[in-house]
Structure 1
Amino acid sequence: MAASRGGVERVLKKLRVSVEEGNFYEAHQMYRTLYFRYMSQKKHAEAIELLYSGASLLLKHNQHGSGADLCMLLIEALNNANSTVNKDIIDKICSLLRLLDQESPERAQYINAALKWSAKNESAYKSGHPDLHQQIAMTLWKEKNYCESRYHFIHSYDGKACASMLVEYATAKGYPSEVDMFVTQAVLQLLCLKNEKTASVVFYTYTEKHPDIETGPPFMKPLLNFVWFLLLAIQGGKLTVFAVLCEKYQPSISRDPSYKDYIDRIGQIFFGVATAKRRQCSSRWSLREFVAKSLC
C-alpha cells in the first residue's frame, strides 16, 4: 500500500511540473489516461486522488475547460467506486466547486452530478445529502448568489446559516413589505420536506436577527404570527386548530398564491388531511366546513 501511494505521489509530482511549465493539454490528457488505467485496475482511491489533484491544479491555472472535465470524471469515479458520502469527499467536491468558473454551464452540471451521486448512496435523501447541500449553499452565499444558495439551504439541516443568509438576502434584494415573506416561504418549504426542526430554527433565528422585525412573538406582522402559530400547532397535531388558524389568517396567506399549495401539503403531512377531502374544500378556504367533513 505504501509503495502504491508513493507511486501515485511521483506521478502527481511529474504532472504538477508539466502544468507549471504550461503544458496544459498534455497534462490534461495524461490525467485522463491515468484515470482510466487506475479504474481498470480497481484502484479507486488512487483515481479519485489523481482527479482531485489534477482538477485543482488546472483550475488554479485558469484551465477551466480541462479542470471541469476532470471534475466530472471525479463524480464518475465516485459512482463507479460506490463511494459512501463522508466529510472528506464532500470537502473535495466543494473545494473544486469554489474553483470552477461561476458562469460556466459545467459548474451547474457538476453540482447536479455530485448531488445525484450523494442521493444514490444515501437513499434517505432523494435530493442529495444535506451536508453536501449545506456546503454548496455556503459557497453560493459567499458569492452573493442568494437564490441558488437558498435552494440548497432548504435541503440542508443548517437552520441558523439559512436564516442568516435570508436576512442578508431580504435586506439586499427585497422590499420592506416583503420582510415577512422571505422567511415564510422558507419555513413552509422546509415543513413540506418534513423538516420541522430546521424550519423552527430558521423562523426564530430570522425574526431575531432581521433589523426590521420587532421583538416577538407575537409580531406586528400577521404573516409572522401565522407561521409562529403554525409551528406550535404542528406540535399538537390537531386538525381543528390548523383549520381555524388557516381561516383566521386567510388574508395574509393569500399574499402569495404558492402558500396554498404548501399549506395543503403541510395539512396532509402533519394533520392527517386526506388529499381527496382537501380537494373538496372550496377555493375560498371554507375550512370550518372542510374540517366538519374530515371529522365525519
Structure 2
Amino acid sequence: MSKILETSPNMISEDTSQMLGSGDMDYSEQISNFCTQGKYKEAMKLFQESEQKGNIEKLEKVINEGNCYAAQQMYKSISARYVSAERYSEALDILHSGACLQLTHGQVTCGAELASMYVETSMKGKIPYDEKTLDLVKKIYQAFPRVPLPQHLWDVDDVQQLSEDIGTAKARVEGCSSFLKAAIRWSAEYGVDSNGSPELHIMLAEYIYSESPEADIGKVTYHFTRGNDPKKFASTLVNFLGKCYPGEDDLAIARAVLRYLCQGNLRDANLLVEEVKTQIESTEIEFPKSELMQFITYLLQTMERDALPLFNMLRVNYKSSIDREPAFHEMLDDIAEKFFGVQRRNPMGMFGDIFKLMGSAE
C-alpha cells in the first residue's frame, strides 16, 4: 500500500484498478480522484474499505459453495492479519460476517469460534460496549440455530437419533454460552454495568432454557436475575412449573426471589412473584403452597422495613424449609449483609479468627 502512495496519480489509478478488479470500478474511480486531488489519506482509507468488502464477498462465496472449513481458516487468517496491524475495525467486520454466515449455514462449531474471536478482538482493541455493539452481538446470537427437542424424551422411538440430537443440542448451547459469557465479560469491562449487560444475561438465560436437553434452572435463574426483564423471567418460570417434578416448583420460585435479593433488587423480587401469580391464572398450574413459600412471603414483607430481628427469627423458624437447598443459607447471609449491614461469618469459625490475629501480629 505504501507503494501506491509513492506513485503518480495516474499510476495509482492503474494499480488500484488491477487490485480491485473490474467489479469495483466505483472504488477505483473514487480513489483515483482522491489521489489526483492530493488527498492520499482519504485514498488509502477507501482502498482499505474496498479490500475489506472484497474479502467479505469472496469468503461468503466460499461458504455458499459448501467449503465451510476452508472459509473458516481464511476468516481466522485474514482477521489475525488485521489484528496484528491493529486494524481492529476490519478484523471485527470479517469475524462478525463469518460468525453469522457459518451459523446461518448450520456450522455451529465454526460460527461459535468466530463469535468468540469477535468478542476477544473487541476486548483486545478496547472497543467500548454500547447500544451499537449490543446490536452486533444480538445479530450473532440470533443466528445461532434453535431446534427444540421433544418435550418428553422417553416417548421418542429412535433412540440413536435422539442421542445424536441431544449431543448436537449440547454443542449448540455450549457454543452460544461461551460466546455470550465472553460478551458479558466484555460488557462488564468496557460498558456501564459492573455485572455485565442485562440484555446479554437475558439472552443467555433464554437460550440455555429453550435449547438445553435438560435446562439447568439454577443457571437460568442466575442470569435472569442479572437481567432487566422480570416479566420474561416469570413466563419462563411458569413454563417450568408446568413440567417440573413435584417439589421443584417452590424451590424454583424461592431461588429466584433470593437471587434478586442478593442483588439488592427488592422491586423485581416482588414483581416476579406477582407476575407468576398473574400468569398462572390462565393455566391449570397452581401456585405452590408450602412452608418455603410462606417463608418467601414473610421475607419479602420483612425486607420492606428495617427489621433485622424479624429476619433472623424467620431464618430460625423456617430452617427446615431453608435446609432443602444448602445454597439458600449462603444467599440469606448475602441478603443480611446487603440490606442490614450484617458482616459475613468467617467460614473457618474460631480458627479463622485466630489465623487472622496471627496475620495482623506479623
TM-score by length of 2: 0.66
Structure 1 segment 33-182 matched on structure 2, within 5 A: 33-97=77-141, 98-99=143-144, 102-104=169-171, 105-122=174-191, 124-126=193-195, 128-143=196-211, 146-147=215-216, 148-175=219-246, 177-182=247-252
- Give the deviation of 1:123 after TM superposition: 7.2
- Give the deviation of 1:119 after TM superposition: 2.4
Partner of 1:288: none
CA distance in structure 2 between the partners assigned to 1:68 and 1:263 by the alignment: 37
Residue deviations 1:183-204 (CA, integer Å, cap 9, x gap): 1111112211222222222222
What letter is aligned with 1:28? Q
CA distance in structure 2 between the partners assigned to 1:87 and 1:138 by the alignment: 20
Task: State yes or no: 1:10 paired with 2:54.
Answer: yes
Task: State yes or no: 1:197 paired with 2:267.
Answer: yes
CA distance in structure 2 between the partners assigned to 1:95 and 1:151 by the alignment: 23
What letter is aligned with 1:87? E
Q: Is the 8 A contact 1:18 1:24 kept in 2?
A: yes
Q: Is the 8 A contact 1:134 1:153 kept in 2?
A: yes
Residue deviations 1:95-122 (CA, integer Å, cap 9, x gap): 4345266422544433332222222224
| RMSD (CA atoms) | 3.0
Residue deviations 1:27-62 (CA, integer Å, cap 9, x gap): 223222321232233332222121111122123233
Shift in alpha-carbon separation, 1:208–1:7, aligned structure 2, 3 A: same
Higher CA-based Rg: 2
Partner of 1:30: 74
CA distance in structure 2 between the partners assigned to 1:278 and 1:12 by the alignment: 55
What letter is aligned with 2:295? F
- Give the deviation of 1:279 after TM superposition: 10
CA distance in structure 1 between the partners assigned to 2:331 and 2:285 by the alignment: 26
- Give the deviation of 1:251 after TM superposition: 4.3
- Give the deviation of 1:168 after TM superposition: 0.8
CA distance in structure 1 between the partners assigned to 2:249 and 2:73 by the alignment: 52
- Give the deviation of 1:270 after TM superposition: 0.9
TM-score by length of 1: 0.79
Shift in alpha-carbon separation, 1:135–1:86, aligned structure 2, 3 A: farther
Partner of 2:277: 207
Shift in alpha-carbon separation, 1:277–1:146, aligned structure 2, 3 A: closer
CA distance in structure 2 between the partners assigned to 1:56 and 1:276 by the alignment: 48
Q: Is the 8 A contact 2:241 2:285 kept in 1?
A: no
Partner of 2:331: 262
CA distance in structure 2 between the partners assigned to 1:279 and 1:47 by the alignment: 50
CA distance in structure 1 between the partners assigned to 2:93 and 2:105 by the alignment: 19
CA distance in structure 1 between the partners assigned to 2:323 and 2:170 by the alignment: 36
Shift in alpha-carbon separation, 1:173–1:276, aligned structure 2, 3 A: closer
Aligned pair count reads: 274
Q: 2:310 aligned to 241, 259, 276, which one?
A: 241
Moved more, 95-104 or 225-234: 95-104
- Structure 2 unmatched ranges of 5 or more: 1-41, 146-167, 350-362
- Structure 1 unmatched ranges of 5 or more: 281-296
CA distance in structure 2 between the partners assigned to 1:139 and 1:65 by the alignment: 16
What letter is aligned with 2:99? A
CA distance in structure 1 between the partners assigned to 2:290 and 2:107 by the alignment: 51
Shift in alpha-carbon separation, 1:106–1:277, aligned structure 2, 3 A: closer
Q: Is the 8 A contact 1:134 1:157 kept in 2?
A: yes
- Give the deviation of 1:266 after TM superposition: 1.4
Partner of 2:149: none
Residue deviations 1:55-102 (CA, integer Å, cap 9, x gap): 221232333443333222211211112122223433433443452664
CA distance in structure 2 between the partners assigned to 1:160 and 1:146 by the alignment: 19
Q: Is the 8 A contact 2:177 2:204 kept in 1?
A: no
- Give the deviation of 1:223 after TM superposition: 2.7
- Give the deviation of 1:6 after TM superposition: 4.4
SS at match of 1:42: coil
Shift in alpha-carbon separation, 1:14–1:271, aligned structure 2, 3 A: same
What letter is aligned with 2:222? Y
SS at match of 1:89: helix
